[in-house]
Structure 1
Amino acid sequence: MSAFKDLLSTNDMIILDGALGTELEKRGYDVSGKLWSAKYLIENPQVIQDLHETYLRAGADILTTSSYQATVQGLKDYGLTEAKTLDLIALTVTLAAQARDKVWADLSEAEKARRPYPLISGDVGPYAAYLADGSEYTGAYELSQEAYKDFHRPRIQALLDAGADMLGIETIPNVNEVKALLDLLADEFPSVEAYISFTAQDDQHISDGTPIEEVAQLCDSSQQILALGINCSAPALFDGLIARIKSVTEKALVTYPNSGEVYDGATQTWKSAPDNSHTLLENALRWHKEGAQIVGGCCRTSPDDIAFIAQAIR
């Protein structure tokens, strides 16, 4: 694999897509329950493909598969066989690929010349997503290194077998899970390229309290992690976190915040007011000046946000 490396080497600013689950919710789809948006892989996969197409038309360069909540264990708990769970994880890549094919075919040659060919990033969420209790924002869970690997291995394999161009390992709140994922990639998926991003509750640590510099140094030593950063965290925290990450690595930086609202895992709702002090575009441009190469949005952001970024840089 070299598609992600090539994208980084030829583009000064790369646009990720935005929220999936909260955008479906905004459009009237029920995303409650442990599967969250992944239940639409079973009930109505077309709505996921439609949203992928919307983000691509908005200008996204990297399309994230709908596999964040789609884990083998989570889908088995829903009553599916292991074979069916793997088929559904593979479907997340198929839906993204179909969306890319459709949108790219509709673009004029002039439009294609103004943007890179979009990549499909196989989404690897944390063990916390399976727990569905909001622990993405605390990191308050602990498995053995082998248990973490056993949890992540089949989904990663299914995403790659289905044709994902790269992996997006995201919303990771726990340093020991980071260690397990890096070892898993090195030992069992040595050719895969990936970015990894973490959640944070202050501007110095990831969510479990580990200093961000310590986590960034772990990632800096990985040949397969080509970019790292922060996602689904309050925008106000990013400036300090970016500076600390930059102090220990020269790898590309990734920034895609949530709206600044706070997630309540017990009620599966977003609370407090969004941070409207700056738009996502304003934040993305500022963080780009501070070193972020890959920018986008996470929970409670929208295709309009992504479109504003694309219009500003193209």
Structure 2
Amino acid sequence: MKQPLILDGGMGRELARSGAPFRQPEWSALALIEAPEAVQAVHASYIAAGAGVITTNSYALVPFHIGEERFAREAKVLADRAGRMARAVVAATGAGHVRVAGSLPPLFGSYRPDLFRSDDAARLLAPLVDGLSGHVDLWLAETLSATAEARVVADMLAGDGRPLWLSFTLEDADDDAADLAQLRSGERVEDAVALALECGARALLFNCSQPEVMEAAVIRAVAERDRAGGKLLIGVYANAFPREPEAAPANETISPIRDDLDPQRYLLWVRNWLRAGAGIVGGCCGIGPEHIAAIAADCA
């Protein structure tokens, strides 16, 4: 098995665990604004753990989290700060092999394809792209709930030249339905693969969903990629949110973290994804440096 590319883990929950300023609605943007040194420390911890890619702390730089007025006034400046800090940590740690991924978030709220407005999406995306552009090695549009969200990103970055990774969040399911992986919009995994190939994306990933739904998504994505004869890396970085049918929406509360996903048990899931054909693995909310270290040691 080819050695996978290892991503970092979640930023927001790691900031909270470290004692950095953290709350809703600002989420991880609060530390970027008030305690940037804490953001740098989290980046450094993931590099030390063995991550080959760190992701800019730009996920919460959208009006839902920081407000319309602050977004209009500071979005580009804050995105630039997020990119500069990630790049500075790579330089300071001497980790020249580590790449910086520019996080492009869902623009109208996580897990909410129903709120997506195509006529306003480009306006919100533009300052993030402008602010990050001078600092990143690749683009990571993440926690996408629908192919329409991905298409806006791909259109804006057409001709940029840097790799584009598209990462979709999946509908969480109970054990009986875990093999029925689909996007939160209800679209099929195969629809996401088709869009990624059409847009020339370098990688298709699944993130910010529970580990239980990921393997089926990888299997289906690999099969559709191969059927289409395309070249597309497949990746996974799951979250550690609880498996509750009536869990609160991602944008409204700070969810608890599962106690059954310690590094060794998370690693068991990662091994399944790798056997299914994933070539990129890491973690999302609640998956920390100790999880990434376990993955890196296992893949060494």
Task: Please report the TM-score for the alignment, with normalisation by the length of structure 2.
Answer: 0.86
Structure 2 unaligned segments of length 5 or more: list them.
174-179, 226-230
Alpha-carbon offset, residue 85 of structure 1: 2.9
Partner residue of 2:254 out of 259, 266, 269? 269
Is contact 1:260-1:275 (8 Å) kept?
no
Query: Could you say if the C-alpha distance between residues 17 and 276 of structure 1 is closer, same or farther in structure 2, counting changes exceeding 3 Å?
Result: closer
Distance 1:40 1:271, change over 3 A: closer
What's the counterpart of residue 92 of structure 2? Answer: 102
Provide closer, same or farther for how the CA distance between residues 73 and 233 of structure 1 changes in structure 2, counting only shifts above 3 A.
closer
> Which residue of structure 1 lines up, in the alignment, with residue 193 of structure 2?
216
State yes or no: 1:26 paired with 2:12. no
Which residue of structure 1 lines up, in the alignment, with residue 205 of structure 2?
Answer: 229
Report how many residues are paired.
Answer: 282
Q: Quote the offset at 1:200 in angstroms.
A: 0.8
* Aligned position for 2:233: 252
Equivalent in the alignment of 1:196: 166
Determine if contact 1:256/1:295 at 8 Å carries over to the other structure. yes
Q: Look up the match of 2:140.
A: 168
Aligned residue identity for 1:270: S
Q: Which residue of 2 aligns with 1:89?
A: 79
Does the Cα contact within 8 Å between 1:235 and 1:275 map onto a contact in 2? no
1:174 deviates by: 2.1
Q: Which residue pairs with 2:217 in the alignment? A: 241
- 8 Å contact kept, 1:38–1:70: yes
Contact 1:172–1:178 under 8 Å retained in 2: yes
Partner of 1:296: 282
Q: CA deviation at 1:182?
A: 2.0
Q: Which runs of 5+ in 1 are unaligned?
A: 1-10, 106-115, 130-135
Q: What is the identity, as a one-letter code, of the residue corresponding to 1:292?
A: A
1:38–1:276: structure 2 CA closer, same or farther, 3 Å change rule? closer
When the two structures are superposed, what TM-score results if normalisation uses the length of structure 1?
Answer: 0.82
Q: Which stretch of the first structure deviates more once superposed, 256-265 or 37-46?
A: 256-265
Residues in 2 aligned to 1:185 and 1:61: alpha-carbon distance in whole angstroms: 23
Post-superposition Cα deviations, 1:118-154, rounded to whole Å, max 9, x if no partner, equal 000111111134xxxxxx224221313x421222122
| Correspondence 1:118 to 2:98 | yes
Partner of 1:7: none
* Equivalent residue for 1:306, pick from 260, 279, 292: 292
The answer to whether residue 19 in structure 2 is matched with residue 46 in structure 1 is: no
In the alignment, which of 4, 8, 19 is matched to residue 13 of structure 1?
Answer: 4
Q: Could you tell me which residue of structure 1 aligns to residue 114 of structure 2?
A: 140
The ranges of structure 1 where at least 4 consecutive aligned residues each deviate by more than 6 angstroms after the TM superposition are none
CA gap 1:79/1:128 in 2 versus in 1, 3 angstroms: closer
Mapped contact 1:261–1:275 kept (Cα < 8 A) = no
Question: Contact 1:71–1:89 at 8 Å: present in 2 too?
Answer: no
1:181/1:33 Cα in 2 relative to 1: closer, same or farther (>3 Å)? same
Q: Which segment drifts farther, 259-268 or 304-313?
A: 259-268
How many Å separate the matches in 1 of 2:3 and 2:69? 42
C-alpha contact 1:67 1:89 (8 A) present in aligned 2: yes
For residues 39 and 30 of structure 1, the distance between their equivalents in structure 2, rounded to whole angstroms, comes to 6
Q: 2:126 aligns with which of 124, 148, 153?
A: 153
Instruction: State the distance in 2 between where 1:205 and 1:308 align.
Output: 29
1:177 pairs with 2:144: no
